[in-house]
């Protein structure tokens, strides 16, 4: 599918992130600029538009917004260690 936009190769190979060519996206969790913006589903009450991959990986995004990327039953303890490691 060609949409005419310039796109970098996706280093995450998940399709869940999109690159931000302007580099002006600021993660709403860590307040750091990020070239990558999470583009997948985020189950939170707040309307979170910009989350960097690192905050998702270390759980900061889910903790800050009380959201969930996985089953809500496992929000207190990260049972799956592999979720935190690359």
| 29 binds Zn ion, rule: CB under 5 A | yes
CA 34, CA 4: separation in Å to the nearest integer? 23
Question: Does residue 26 belong to the site contacting Zn ion (CB under 5 A)?
Answer: no
Is 55 a binding residue for Zn ion by CB under 5 A? The answer is yes
Determine if 25 is a binding residue for Zn ion (CB under 5 A): no
CB of 48 to Zn ion, least distance (A): 11
- Of 56, 16, 52, give the one whose Cα is nearest residue 34: 52
Query: What would you measure as the largest C-alpha separation in the chain, in angstroms?
Result: 43
- Which residues here bind Zn ion, judged by CB under 5 A? 27, 29-30, 52, 55
């Amino acid at each position: 599918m060609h949409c005419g936009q310039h796109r970098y190769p996706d280093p995450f190979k998940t399709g869940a992130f999109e690159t931000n060519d302007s580099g002006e996206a600021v993660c709403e969790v860590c307040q750091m600029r990020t070239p990558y913006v999470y583009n997948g589903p985020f189950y939170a009450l707040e309307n979170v538009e910009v989350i960097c991959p690192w905050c998702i990986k270390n759980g900061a995004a889910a903790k800050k917004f009380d959201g969930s990327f996985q089953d809500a039953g496992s929000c207190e303890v990260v049972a799956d260690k592999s979720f935190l490691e690359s």
